[in-house]
Amino acid sequence: MREIVFDTETTGLSFPGGDRLVEIGCVELVNRIETGRTFHAYYHPERDMPEEAARVHGLRIEFLSKHPVFANAVHDLVEFIGDAPLIAHNATFDFSFLNGELTRCGRDPVCLSRMVDTLQIARSRHPGAKHSLDALCSRFGVDRSHRVLHGALLDAQLLAQVYVELMGGRQIGLGLADAPIVTTVAPIVAVAPRPRREPRVFVPSAGEIAAHAAFLSKLTDPIWGAEQPG
């Protein structure tokens, strides 16, 4: 099963409010194992970069202006994601920007049935705990020491590891799901009934009784002759 884990960086929080997508990073999984294939791109937002957003991801308009606008580079992204399920943390946010950009340039939006939200999965499996990407990395022992600023590809790579752990580890990649279940039943073998044999009766002979009495007569102070405490 092919899946794509992705993350975005934007100029703000609302695509309908005029914010734009400026970076996307994608990581390919097959049977929940990273294949090594990734997709990463920066886009010119065709607007300014608010300072509060720049402080989060470090991307400024001076850098982004050297990159293509989304509409001129969308083909490579669409080709990479194909028809695979798309996994993101707080996925409704990332989908709003991805589909907003696709619609804006005349492309079909990604069907929401393909959306997998790791935030919702984490909330259902660990209610009451912290569910940020940093918190989930700490929970599952995912190294995020090199994460200084938000970056779409880096965050997608971290999320890919978190997603695998949320789904129970890499068991799906071991091929167990496709292995046939083989049940071996031992054949029933009919056994003929055995004839009943009368129990043996063991009776000591007269000589054996006499020998036993002679042995007992040699014992001094036998316990069975002692008086029992009252």
Contact 87, 3 (CB under 8 A): yes
Element (DSSP H or E) covering residue 92: helix 91-104
Residue type, 196: R
* Pairing between β-strand 33-42 and β-strand 21-30 as defined by DSSP bridges: antiparallel
Retrieve residue 45's tokens.
């937002």
3-state secondary structure at position 24: strand
Tell me how far apart the alpha carbons of residues 90 and 112 are, in angstroms, rounded to a whole number.
13
Binding residue positions for substrate? 7, 9, 52, 57, 155
Mark the binding-site residues, compressed into ranges.
Answer: 7, 9, 52, 57, 155
Catalytic residue among 44, 89, 131, 150: 150
> Is position 212 annotated as part of the catalytic site?
no
The string of DSSP letters for 93-138 reads HHHHHHHHHHHHTTPPPPPGGGEEEHHHHHHHHSTTS--SHHHHHH
Beta bridge partners, 42, equal: 23
Binding-site residues for a divalent metal cation, please?
7, 9, 155
CA–CA distance from 42 to each of 9, 163, 170 (Å)? 9, 24, 31
Instruction: Indicate the DSSP class of residue 44.
Output: B
Q: Annotated active-site positions, please? A: 150
